[in-house]
Chains A and B, each alone.
Chain A
Amino acid sequence: MTQATLSTPAARPLARLRDPAWYQEYGVYLAVAVVLLFNALFTEHFMTADNLRTQLVQVAPIVIVALGMALVIGTEGVDLSVGSTMAVAAALLPLYLGYGLVPALVMALLAGALVGAVNGTLVSLVGLQPIVATLALFVGGRGLALVMADGQLKQIVNPDLLSLGTGSFLGIPLVVLIAAVLAVAVAFLVQRTTFGRQVVAIGGNRSAASLAGLPVRRVLIGVYMLCGVLAALAGILATARLTASDPSSLGTLMELSAITAVVVGGTPLNGGSIRVLGTVAGALLMQLLRATLVKHDLPDSTAQIAQAAIIIAAVYVARERRSR
């Protein structure tokens, strides 16, 4: 991803703006900046600390799921089961809260790891396509969650768990803080660790990675497990914020939001490169866009059509680059 800067010397910064590659690299940040600028100029009560905090709190679970999704997509995979995993984690919480907060959290996260292990095994050992492998748990996972919860929504009364969802530290909501820390951790994982390099290498060319002696299967299972754990964590945080465990609707369409964030953020769907910061910006862009349209009294339908257009545009820009 380090581009040769022969043709774009620092002396002519504007030349970069004509380079499609530049847009793929920085387009999503530019778009976030444009949306923010638009709101600063034309939207009342948007650039207030309160509203921005609300936006960040709302986007945090999406970011957390999208981080795991970015890793999976980096291996040329995809994980459709993240929404169901959130529901499973949410359904487990009330079952184990009687034993205390920590056991409940551990069980929920373990469930996420287990879901990921199943997905990873199906992908790497059985050799199924990621869409098929994760489709099974997408379908079955929510059913499992509903069975565990007896199909019911359960109020959460544990104050410690609730403070996870509503608490703040130095004025920053805890969920936002957790998402930020995780983003940094995943970025570090991708850029500075052997595991991260292996993930990218496997996504770039799986058979070459295998021939080079990389532990392909182990890495793949690890990636899906990480994705599952992150999804479970997002499920826990969302449950804490909703003050209720709602396995029937929690996390629906989350797989689409997460994939969108990753793709808009510039990570190619065919693997080999992971943009962690871009993923965060992608999630933020979609959230801010929706909020902007809502504040201007434009209906949901417009927001969805706009979202569709942005996805297409982002992928089109990415395609331009790859075909060169």
Chain B
Amino acid sequence: MNETSPAPVAQAPAPRKTPAAAGGGAPRPVTGAPPPLGQRLAELLQRQGVLAVLLTVVIVASFIYPTFATLDNARGVTVQASFLAVVALGMTMVIITGGIDLSVGSVFALGGVLAAWASQWGFLAALFVPLVVCGAIGLLNGFLVARAGMAPFIVTLATLLGARGILLAFTDEGATTYLVPKGSAFAELGQGSVRGFGYPILIALVLFGIGGLVLQRTSFGQTLFAVGGSSDAATLMGLPVARTKVLVYALSGLLAGLAGALNAARLSSGVTIVGVGMELDAISAVVIGGTLLIGGAGSISGTLWGVLLLAVIQNLINQIGSLNSSYQSVVSGGFLIVVVVAQRYLARSRRTT
């Protein structure tokens, strides 16, 4: 329905991602009758529920806190969110294949420090060095998961420790801080803006656009869903399962490194203490965005709304000056529970109707 690709592979593996919502000419359902309203509603809620929650929160907050609905605040919220968004984009792909990448927080920090260090040799070096190193770490994750058949959770837990170790060694146990030269093109990449919206935001948006296209319009994207749906079935269909997994982890490392580099450009320095716990923020955003942790179903746009929802919650708690910032994690945790439980029941009601 979305492309004319004759490969049966491209359609079969995406049961939840390509629903009958594409109008009358839906090719897949054999039963002619449209699904009952309740089922369609549940499906819509499951796919777009986060967006609905996000819009509700934003609208309500705009009425209550006049300072919330200002352009300045929107810029602040989005620029903070853009780094997490880039990391969460890679995480979404990994999770769709049924894996998980716990190393992204450390890789983010490592990418930032490497970028700041390399920026003394110019713009290209500042981007190239972190991307190569972080991509290599991702590649290592991918090989250990896909070729050696080790559990993603534990492999990436080990690289979480390992990448922090490399980071510490590289900065003399955190004693050295590398600075991005002022006014350099690389600093501009982090600090420059179009109408006040910083380049990191634009980069994140472009990446999400590309990610969405790759996921829905390419056979690589469809393979991700197939691998996540059933790795064995995908193998039997002749899909390059191992290669896909390796690529996905490499991409995740690459994106985490890029996000770290952008963050370093924005801060003008490579800071060693950033990114701690970022993997769990990214996973939260992905899960809130409707991607299933068991793999096989999910969406890039959902992740974007999930990241924004977390950012808006944080911003709101800052707006309510009387609350201390610890409420932020309480609210985020609460949201996470509500969303995943709701998802669970929506999925269940859909299956039983």
| A residues neighboring B (CB under 8 Å) | 78, 80, 122, 126-129, 131-133, 135-147, 150-151, 256, 259-260, 263, 269-270, 299-305, 307-309, 311-312, 315-316, 319, 323
Contact assessment for B337 and A136 in the assembled complex, using a CB-CB cutoff below 8 Å: yes
Q: Is the interface of B mostly helix, strand, loop or mixed?
A: helix
Known A129-B293, A143-B328; further 4 A-B contacts with Cβ < 8 A: A304-B162, A311-B154, A311-B161, A315-B154
User: What is the count of residue pairs linking A and B with beta-carbon distances less than 8 angstroms?
Assistant: 138
Pair A132/B330 contact, Cβ less than 8 Å:
no
Write 19 A-B pairs (CB below 8 A) sorted by A numbering.
Answer: A127-B348, A129-B293, A131-B293, A135-B283, A135-B287, A140-B332, A142-B329, A146-B326, A259-B157, A260-B157, A269-B153, A301-B165, A301-B168, A305-B169, A307-B165, A309-B162, A312-B155, A315-B150, A319-B150
CB B172 to nearest CB in A, in angstroms, measures 8
Q: Which residue of A lies closest to B151 (CB)?
A: A269
Return the CB mask of B272-300 against A: 1 if under 8 Å, else 0. 00000000100110010000011000000
CB-defined contacts of A263 to chain B, threshold 8 Å: 154
Q: Which residues of A contact B164 (CB under 8 A)?
A: 301, 304
| One of B165, B327, B341 near A147 (C-beta < 8 A) | B327
Question: Is A139's CB under 8 angstroms from B280's CB?
Answer: yes
Contact residues in B for A256 (Cβ distance below 8 Å):
157, 160-161
In the complex, B100 has a CB within 8 A of chain A: yes
Report how far A299 CA is from B175 CA in the complex, Å.
12
Known contacts A132-B293, A136-B336, A136-B340; A323/B149 CB under 8 A: yes
**Nearest-Cβ distance from residue A217 to partner chain B, whole angstroms:** 15
- Verify if B124 is at the interface (C-beta below 8 Å from A): no
With a cutoff of 8 Å between Cβ atoms, the chain A residues found around residue B287 in the complex are 132, 135
**Contacts A135-B336, A151-B326 known; A304 to B157 CB distance under 8 Å?**
no
Which residues of A have CB within 8 Å of B168? 299-301, 304
Are the CB atoms of B341 and A315 closer together than 8 Å?
no
For A269, the closest partner residue in chain B by CB is B151
Closest chain B CB from A277 CB (angstroms): 20
Given contacts A139-B332, A299-B168, A305-B165, contact A128 B344 (CB under 8 A): yes
Q: Are the CB atoms of B280 and A305 closer together than 8 Å? A: no
| Cβ contact within 8 Å between A147 and B151 | no
Measured CB to CB, the nearest residue on chain B to A305 is B165
Q: Is B232 an interface residue (CB 8 A)?
A: no
- Which of B284, B287, B337 has the most C-beta atoms of chain A within 10 angstroms of its own C-beta? B337
